[in-house]
Structure 1
């Protein structure tokens, strides 16, 4: 399937929808490798037990090519994620080894909170994740234990273990690979009334609420936000809004339900007070949900919920 332009066209999307829908019907053993590079590596032959091995890299010359169980897609990670999400395609294995920040032209790390939260929407509730934790600098393993998930490091004896060197030669440069068994574990939501508005706070990906709300106010790589907006029209760039601008935007557009990610460095009492004090001037939104990945975020919102209950 030829690539007719840099950005995915409607015709190409329709063709991909038909092709992928057929390929993934009833398939429960699928692997996704984002920023995979453009080559089919010789050792990919060791992945013959998978129903589908999907390689996604925007540098590929052909929009889509298939060789056995290997599907190569010339898409950005955001485009691919949105396409799989729309088709209801789920993956059981995720490879994020080297997204090319230094040498491949990547503009952001795929393991950053906003990106990883988006990727999680197309992963099974339990999945295998192969990565290189040194990409996260000094935080290393810490990141994987500060997300709404459990992460167990697998060894070579585990039946779900896959040799990471199949996918990359990164290990030759002293980089450490890890194979994790990840199980999603959303936090318990806490809700309370704030005047006439309903406020909810929960530890989960903000993108999990996409179908539940009218607008999502997110943080992302500034350069990538237009790409995210193109596939997820409900998203707004959070840093573009003051408190007043946010409420005015919602009121002017009758946006009743919104979801927010962390952005105020832990200080949310002022925002909550502003919501309460301006419910007459700005009656929208009616429902506000706070979604976060890292523990410790929105603690003032949780405290307010506890105070209301008590």
Structure 2
């Protein structure tokens, strides 16, 4: 199924989302090629939020399919509830004569039958079984699938913009990768992160932001860190700093403590907390 691409449909940064130039190019390339956009990056870099912002920027409705470890590709198409139909037949329910009463439409079906073009987010595809992406190849290629129980073929009325996210937890099949336009969201540099912070915390004092980001990047670059804090976590941390009315001087007043103020927003496991406690101990011992 081929449809004319709307060349005026261009994604760009929104008031709520700072998109880098390379990310903007990747989104628009995927839209032009009519291929799924596969977005990878460490957790918290805005992969899921990207789909929401593409939806907002292009004025399209979004359909979200959150993938779990137990998710099967078939669930994205439809599920047939044979057990309920058997039970209803035993009870003499008239609904049993129409098999459509026992078919639950999946997210792909909903996207395919939409009256208008939509954004379809397949979120965290790498959480599912390794065969999950391969099981969707034909449907994403042809934009149609067959319903065996009713004998009908469901074809997309308007080809959706498909955005697929991955946290890189497992390798994806080559056949699947060949069908996608790929983009890796790199962790933002300080200048870009400043712009992101301004969106979420407008008017934050420059001295506080400079001190906070300096400390934040120092933490991320610390050798031996098990989980580096993400963009979403630094935004939470700054929200707490503002709520506590902290200043740049407060952030610098840790003395020999290597733990940042309100570190629970940034360090999310005991190993990393212990790492910074050991650094603090070594700093005190070396005085």
Scaled by the length of structure 2, the TM-score of the pair is 0.29
Q: Which has the higher contact order (CA 8 A, sep 6+)?
A: 2
Select the structure of larger CA radius of gyration. 2
Q: More strand per residue: 1 or 2?
A: 1
